Structure 1
Amino acid sequence: MLQPNQKNTRLIQSFHELMALLHIQNPPEEWGKNWENAIALYKGDQQLYFLSNQYISEANPYFKLNEEKSAAFYHALELIRGREDLITLAWLWKCLLYEEISPSDAYDVASWPLPEVAMGAVAQMFPLIVAVSNLPWLRENYKMRGLTESILFDTLSDIGIIMEESRKRTGVWGIENFLLGWLLNHFQGRLFRIGRLQFMPEKYDLRISVYRHKNTRKVIALEEGGRLTDNADFTKGCPITPLGKVLPKTVKLSLAEWEAVLIQGDTMLDVHIPRGGKLEYDRLDESYRSALATYPKLFPKQQFKGFICHTWMFDPLLQKILPEDSNLVKFQRDFYLYRIVDDDSVFETVFVSKPEDLHTLPEETSLQRAIKGHVLSGKQMRSAAGFLLFDDLYSGPAYYQKKQGEVQSLLKSWE
């Protein structure tokens, strides 16, 4: 068994042998492709620091694991340390994700097979153990970029929350593989929790463009139809109301009067709402302003245009089934909604899972009761995407959805 001071751990030298020992069939192509590079990077047991109990113990002030969660780590680590094949697989994963032998964002980590034969019910701890192995680098990265320890503590508080949610869904400690990609954002220094919200850079890649009138400063989103071929001074598209409804009418905008303020390829700050606490609307403005001041310093080569968010909390129907003063409703109303899709993700967040019989949904909170009544009436829950441009951040609450008015009112001037 691997001990913290041991110096002679032998990694499995053959990729095919490793896969056979772990009973993993059809491994991802990137595993085999980067195998030799990963083995060549291994110089000794000091690089396996993340497989020691001491590492988790010393990292725990950041992770905030209770006794039961810590015990789950220690149990899984003991199992891994006792098998050279599991040690080798852990090293391979760490190299792929953190040693820059190839771009990790190109991997579909959610499809990576777990060593279930070797680890049994503990297998879901494997991706979590590798995910948190990058803490030493992350701490140095925060120092280099001038980020405070308090932001690091807040950002990594997700670990315990995610473990709790996965256990509710699966019945065992660890994380589902789709959450590995999410945690990479934390441990590769892309996502930060600033105040109540989390933020990370994201390219705006939809064919929906946003224009601002040069005089009135009003904003409109268009499901883009492109520049008019006979006149480059105009653009055309179907208007989208601030509540996400695409109007069945093609309009054209004069580019002498309207300027593009958000187009495909622009960089936005993707907003996420971490769980584990009440969404207090009064705290959101501080998060927005702090993020606006922080991110241009962290990513000086990128020009951020605003905030973007895609969540079940943006279902416009929530404005009808929740009170006017609901924190969730006020949060939604600050964004210009531009895309709505049918989506059951609300069930995982609000109810843990979606049962076959919706009548069995719990009714412990007012939100649960409202949503349950809504779906039992035969209606579909949805999610939506919305934007909040930096230039409109100081325009006051509900600027797009309330103060600016419906897009339909502007159509008359275009007829």
Structure 2
Amino acid sequence: MTRDTERPVDPEAAVRQWLDALAGQPAAPAVADPVVPTGAELAERIDLLAVPGPDREEVAAGLPDPARDPARWEALVRCHQRLYADPGPDVPSAAPDWPTAPAALGSAGRYFYVHLYVLALPHALERQRRLGIPDDVVAATFADLGAKLTTYRLGHGTGGFDRQRWIVRHFQGALHRLGRLQFERGVLDADATGGDAATAGGPAHGDQVLKVHIPGDGPLDPAGRDASFAAAREFHARHFPGTRHRHATCSSWLLDPQLADHLPESSNILVFQRRFAAFGSGQVGDDDVLEFVFHAPPGTADLDRLPQQTTLHRSLVRHLRAGGHWRTAHGWTDLP
């Protein structure tokens, strides 16, 4: 009896399959096709997305030409249509299941979804204008794409972007950055969190909530945090008056109660934790910790080589070395 062996992946076939899958998405005829920007217009879009210096030239040079690269262009057009084929700004839709490009595409693949968002920016900005979102909030919100380019380079040692499903929220108008924190309009999914908080006076399964996200670009100081929460209710009541948000929720390794055994009681992380009431059940979140704190993609971290400059660094690594695991925990809080 012979043993079957895996056939090597044909790079060209992988690229064709990936492009065909993207181009095969349902079309949305009501959404106008994007137009390739040039010159000053392209520079303005790259600026608004806060594309970092090391990535700017490659992003600009790699924008596809519809005539010379029709397959990639068609894939981008269909992604653009899928991005905006949603029920509207008051009903956030699920993120499309867009796979990362095959390695055989090289730079064109690593920046494919950056090009999508560069092309999609005018439609997104028009949506923000219709909602009356202030310019400073728009700029802070869309700058998250550039932040994700920075973390990709830190983790992979080259330029690229792999947060295509995350940034959908920004472009569909579901997420906005208000000072130190980001707030995403959504509903509580008790299946995902392992339970709800209805019996404790918190949100029940299916309730409208503001999901809190913590950008990793600065300290989580109480003053900045409180200012963000204070702004959140007024902002959403003004710009999304059709939905009342009574609660905010957060799902993060930053809410792991084990951190209290490793950090001083006055640490910003523990002060942030105490704002929330725990609910549901957590899942192992080691990969999140290693990626967001140490910029180590899943499966690549060498604990002996990770930075140890801060108390948080040392605590996180010491716990993992001892055979422990960090967990993603869930919390809720009333909006002020």
Task: Tell me the TM-score range normalised by the shorter chain.
Answer: 0.7 to 0.9
**What is the SS of the residue equivalent to 2:249?**
strand
Residue 310 of structure 1 and its aligned partner are, at CA, apart by 0.4
Alignment correspondent of 1:298: 239
| TM-score normalised by length of structure 1 | 0.68
Residue 364 of structure 1 and its aligned partner are, at CA, apart by 2.3
Q: Which moved more, 1:286-295 or 1:335-344?
A: 335-344
Matched, 1:202 2:145: no
Matched, 1:351 2:335: no
Letter of the structure 2 residue corresponding to residue 165 of structure 1: T
Alignment correspondent of 1:315: 256
Q: Tell me the alpha carbon deviations over residues 239-296 of structure 1, each in whole angstroms, 9 at most, x when there is no partner.
A: xxxxxxxxxxxxxxxxxxxxx5522111110000112222222111110010011112
Residue 120 of structure 1 and its aligned partner are, at CA, apart by 2.1
CA contact (8 A) 2:34 2:119 kept: no
Question: Structure 1's 92 and 316: CA in aligned 2 closer, same or farther, altered over 3 A?
Answer: same
Residue 100 of structure 1 and its aligned partner are, at CA, apart by 5.3
Structure showing greater relative contact order (alpha-carbon pairs closer than 8 Å, 6 or more residues apart): 2
Alignment correspondent of 1:180: 164
Alignment correspondent of 1:167: 153
Alignment correspondent of 2:328: 383
Question: Structure 1's 193 and 50: CA in aligned 2 closer, same or farther, altered over 3 A?
Answer: farther
Residue 192 of structure 1 and its aligned partner are, at CA, apart by 0.4
Larger radius of gyration: 1
Letter of the structure 2 residue corresponding to residue 332 of structure 1: Q
Q: Which moved more, 1:334-343 or 1:303-312?
A: 334-343
Structure with the bigger percentage of strand: 1
Residue 324 of structure 1 and its aligned partner are, at CA, apart by 1.3
Alignment correspondent of 2:101: 114
CA contact (8 A) 1:315 1:382 kept: yes
Letter of the structure 2 residue corresponding to residue 130 of structure 1: L
Q: Which moved more, 1:80-89 or 1:372-381?
A: 80-89
Alignment correspondent of 1:255: none
Question: How far apart, CA to CA, are the structure 2 residues paired with 1:265 and 1:137?
Answer: 29
Listed as ranges, the matches of 1:98-113 within 5 Å are 98=84, 105-106=93-94, 108-111=96-99
Question: How far apart, CA to CA, are the structure 2 residues paired with 1:349 and 1:342?
Answer: 15
Matched, 1:277 2:218: yes
Question: Structure 1's 104 and 333: CA in aligned 2 closer, same or farther, altered over 3 A?
Answer: closer
Question: How far apart, CA to CA, are the structure 1 residues paired with 2:86 and 2:177?
Answer: 25
Residue 189 of structure 1 and its aligned partner are, at CA, apart by 0.9
Question: How far apart, CA to CA, are the structure 1 residues paired with 2:243 and 2:87?
Answer: 25
Unaligned runs of 5+ in 2: 1-11
CA contact (8 A) 2:92 2:186 kept: no
Alignment correspondent of 2:174: 190
Question: Structure 1's 93 and 55: CA in aligned 2 closer, same or farther, altered over 3 A?
Answer: farther
Residue 172 of structure 1 and its aligned partner are, at CA, apart by 3.0
Alignment correspondent of 1:360: 305
Identity %: 25
Residue 68 of structure 1 and its aligned partner are, at CA, apart by 1.9
Unaligned runs of 5+ in 1: 1-18, 212-219, 221-259, 394-415
Question: Structure 1's 356 and 73: CA in aligned 2 closer, same or farther, altered over 3 A?
Answer: closer
**What is the SS of the residue equivalent to 1:262?**
coil
CA contact (8 A) 1:204 1:267 kept: yes
Question: How far apart, CA to CA, are the structure 2 residues paired with 1:359 and 1:115?
Answer: 31
Alignment correspondent of 2:144: 158
CA contact (8 A) 1:163 1:174 kept: yes
CA contact (8 A) 2:256 2:329 kept: yes
Question: Structure 1's 308 and 167: CA in aligned 2 closer, same or farther, altered over 3 A?
Answer: same
